[in-house]
Amino acid sequence: MQFNQVLENVTTYEAGKPIELVVREYGIDPKDVIKLASNENPYGTSPKVIAKIQEIVQNMSVYPDDSMYELKEALANKFDLTNKHIIIGSGSDQILEYCVHAKCEKDSKILMAKTTFAMYEIYGKQTGAKIIKTEDDQHNLEQFSKLYKEHGADVIFLCLPNNPLGECLDKDAVYAFLETIDKETLIVVDGAYQEFAAFKDEKKRIVPKDLIANFPNAIYLGTFSKAYGLGGMRVGYGIAQPDIINTFYKLRAPFNITTLTLAAAIEALKDEEFVTSCIAKNFEEMKRYEEYVTKKGFEFIPSYTNFITIKFGDKFVSKIVAQKLLEKGVIVRDLTSYGQNAIRITIGRAEQNTKVFEQLDEVLEKLK
């Protein structure tokens, strides 16, 4: 059967390995498996969310409110905007898809960092767009500017902070760059980890209201999957000027998120204390990773997220390290597919991290 030829150049996105796979393949007790590959919140979600879900779970026969009024109002209040500035997606990934499909077709151009979230390129190639990447792995705005002047772009992706590496640009540098961009170029600021970056360093904070006021051709993406601990609920949002939001609604299918998802996200927004507590513990535990990596003589990328990227240089092969950890029940993300001899580890709870250090010590000792 013949399919759209542009799909021949599209690679399949590989999600982090699930606990169930490790249990099946290696016979490890589920309670002994530590999953630190998908940047989920190791502390779960707010108890208030769990209570709310238990309250409404009996009413699953009725479609959700497709206007998503209550969630959009809650987000509008949080960001001091109106619900006309907001669109809700099944994860922020779905809104990424809207961004590309609304602007791109065959021979359109998309500009991004060399090493960044893989779905930017996958969605772009689905339309036949040309992908333009910087030479540096991390976001280098001088290279972005150079490539933009040479090639132009229909869409620019800025992942702030960047997944899978963890670095983050200062807001002032981002704004200075955006001042040079033509108003017909859609600027996508992916803020999936912004809660972490803003907590660690105020200079990294991107305020959606200011962003779209200064740059009407920009959209800010947020998610409930990371800091809010709702990865299993799949809910994200986009914030932009109403003309962009209205266009994206033409791409949105009805009832694209569930009744439970709506309720969970609304309730999660009411418990910012829980989120702040999780983020604070994240950075306390990250210090332990930084000390461990330094002691081992490896490099790490200073992270503004809930994960850390460890680079092995010529000492070890990351793919082998990740596999050996997997066999011990520790799931981390190997970055070989990104051209990196590195692993990405989600910052877990204290007891999980202690076990990671122990298991990593054993693996590295055997691989010497």
In this prediction, residue 153 carries a pLDDT of: 98
> Which of 138, 139, 191 lies closest to 340 in space, CA to CA?
138
Query: What digits encode the pLDDT tens for the residues 301-342?
Result: 999 999 999 999 999 999 999 999 999 999 999 999 999 999
> Which of 28, 43, 34, 32 lies closest to 231 in space, CA to CA?
43
Evaluate if residue 60 carries a pLDDT over 80.
no
Evaluate if residue 127 carries a pLDDT over 80.
yes
> Which of 101, 117, 100 lies closest to 163 in space, CA to CA?
117
What are the helix (H) ranges across 184-317? 194-200, 208-214, 242-249, 259-268, 272-296
Displacement of CA 30 from its chain's centroid (Å): 26
One-letter amino acid at 281 equals: K
In this prediction, residue 5 carries a pLDDT of: 77
Concatenated DSSP letters of 169-200: --HHHHHHHHTTS-TTSEEEEE-TTHHHHHHH
In this prediction, residue 11 carries a pLDDT of: 77
Q: Nearest 5 degrees, angle CA 201-CA 120-CA 10?
A: 150
In this prediction, residue 16 carries a pLDDT of: 67
This prediction's pTM: 0.94
One-letter amino acid at 114 equals: K
Q: What is the DSSP letter of 158?
A: E
Query: What digits encode the pLDDT tens for the residues 186-235?
Result: 999 999 999 999 999 999 999 999 999 999 999 999 999 999 999 999 99
Taking domain 47-271, whether its CATH number is 2.40.110.10 is answered by no
Percentage of the chain with pLDDT > 90? 86
Q: What is the largest CA-CA distance in the chain?
A: 59
In this prediction, residue 342 carries a pLDDT of: 97
Query: What digits encode the pLDDT tens for the residues 260-290?
Result: 999 999 999 999 999 999 999 999 999 999 9
Sequence-distant (6+) residues with CB within 8 A of 319 are: 334, 336
Question: Model confidence at 28, in pLDDT bands (50, 70, 90)?
Answer: confident
Q: Determine how β-strand 86-89 pairs with β-strand 109-112.
A: unpaired
CA atoms within 13 A on the CB side of 103: 30
Q: What is the DSSP letter of 71?
A: H
Tell me the pLDDT of the chain averaged across its residues: 94
What is the CATH architecture of 5-45+273-367?
Answer: Alpha-Beta Complex (3.90)
In this prediction, residue 147 carries a pLDDT of: 98
Give ranges for CATH 3.90.1150.10 in the chain: 5-45+273-367
Which residue in the block uniquely carries the two structure tokens 């709702």?
A: 230
Evaluate if residue 21 carries a pLDDT over 80.
no
Give ranges for CATH 3.40.640.10 in the chain: 47-271
> Which of 185, 199, 220 lies closest to 103 in space, CA to CA?
185
Question: Model confidence at 24, in pLDDT bands (50, 70, 90)?
Answer: confident
